[in-house]
Amino acid sequence: MENQDLLYHYFSNSLTAAQEKIFEDLLEKDTEFKAQFLFEQNLKEVIKSNEIDNLKAKLQGFEKDLAATKTTRIEFFDSETTKTVKPLFNSKNFAMAASLVLLMGWFGYNSFFGTNYTNIYDANFSTYPNTVYSITRGDTENTLEREAFVAYESKDYKTAIEKLDAIPTEATKEYFNFYKAQAYLNMEDIVNAETFFTLVLQDNKSFVAESTWYLALIAVKEENKTEAKKHLENLVTNFDYNKEKAQALLKELY
């Protein structure tokens, strides 16, 4: 993930635990990254101002300070390290950014920095339930398939995959790939999830519409708007599954 993406997820409160660790390390060790963070933090505070007149006054103050500045770069003082840091943006770019805020109007920080793909994904994703294998307490059957779906319902996705993989080829069923894809997706293994959902489409049997929906969500997670729209348009045109959700999501992405 690039530094700008980390900053975006930080300010939108959507950093994962792993991303947060990377963010903290960069903030501590990378002076340019910290300078960029300080710049955007200051800009965010300006945008959060409650009164447009107050915002204009602040921007005018910035411009006056910039005009009086002898250096070509704006500096911020870091109270923790008692050092002065220089952002990646020069004074000209800062003035342009400030002017852009006014030009855009009062749309808020998220609008300024673009579509929040993480929030869209989280709002639309839910794990597909086990609808293919009935599990009852009194069931004495002990097969790999049963063990796989017991693990799946227990959210032990790693074991579910291992059990399904252990089933001999001649005993495999057409819905196995879909549930493997689900398990991988819940483990945040996007590459394997996408591979198995694509196999479902190629087989053109069970769970084609459902796989199309999840491929669209994967594309959203990867911030691939073109691919997401392609899958959603296919879903709306050819299937009834999650049709209204797909239509709503398309409107968000356009």
Residues 177 and 109 in one domain: no
pLDDT at 63: 59
Give me the DSSP letters along 159-194.
Answer: HHHHHHHHS-GGG--TTHHHHHHHHHHHTT-HHHHH
Residues 132 and 88 in one domain: no
pLDDT at 71: 46
Structural domain boundaries, residue 168: 121-253
- Reported in sequence order, the residue ranges of the chain that DSSP labels E, i.e. its strands, are 76-78, 83-85
Of 22-31, 57-66, 210-219, 228-237, the least confident: 57-66
Q: Are strands 76-78 and 83-85 parallel, antiparallel or unpaired?
A: antiparallel
pLDDT exceeds cutoff 90 at 175: yes
pLDDT at 207: 98
Residues 78 and 43 in one domain: yes
Residues 132 and 62 in one domain: no
Cβ atoms of residues 157 and 151 within 8 Å:
yes
Q: How far apart are CA 232 and CA 241, in angstroms?
A: 11
Q: How far apart are CA 25 and CA 23, in angstroms?
A: 5
Q: Return the SS3 of 7.
A: helix
Q: How far apart are CA 17 and CA 202, in angstroms?
A: 35
The tens digit of pLDDT for each residue in 130-143 reads: 999 999 876 777 89
Residues 230 and 187 in one domain: yes
Residues 99 and 186 in one domain: no
Residues 49 and 71 in one domain: yes
Q: Count other C-beta atoms under 10 Å from residue 40's C-beta.
A: 20
Q: Which residues contact 36 (CB under 8 A, 6 or more apart)?
A: 3, 4, 7, 87, 88, 89
pLDDT at 105: 45
Question: pTM here?
Answer: 0.58
Backbone torsions φ then ψ of 83, nearest 5 degrees: -120, 155
Residues 125 and 183 in one domain: yes
pLDDT exceeds cutoff 60 at 41: yes
**Which of 113, 139, 174 is the C-terminal boundary of a domain?**
113
Residue 45 vs residue 201, higher pLDDT: 201
Q: Total domain count for the chain?
A: 2
**Which of 57, 81, 113 is the C-terminal boundary of a domain?**
113
pLDDT exceeds cutoff 70 at 52: no
Residues 192 and 93 in one domain: no
pLDDT at 154: 97
Distance of CA 5 to the CA centre of its chain: 10
Residues 137 and 215 in one domain: yes
Residue 156 vs residue 76, higher pLDDT: 156
Residue 93 vs residue 37, higher pLDDT: 37
Q: How far apart are CA 18 and CA 15, in angstroms?
A: 8
**Which of 113, 129, 145 is the C-terminal boundary of a domain?**
113
Residues 109 and 127 in one domain: no
Compute the half-sphere exposure of residue 150: CA atoms within 13 Å on the CB side of its CA.
13
pLDDT exceeds cutoff 50 at 106: no
pLDDT at 31: 85
pLDDT exceeds cutoff 80 at 5: no
Which CATH number goes with the domain that contains 228? 1.25.40.10
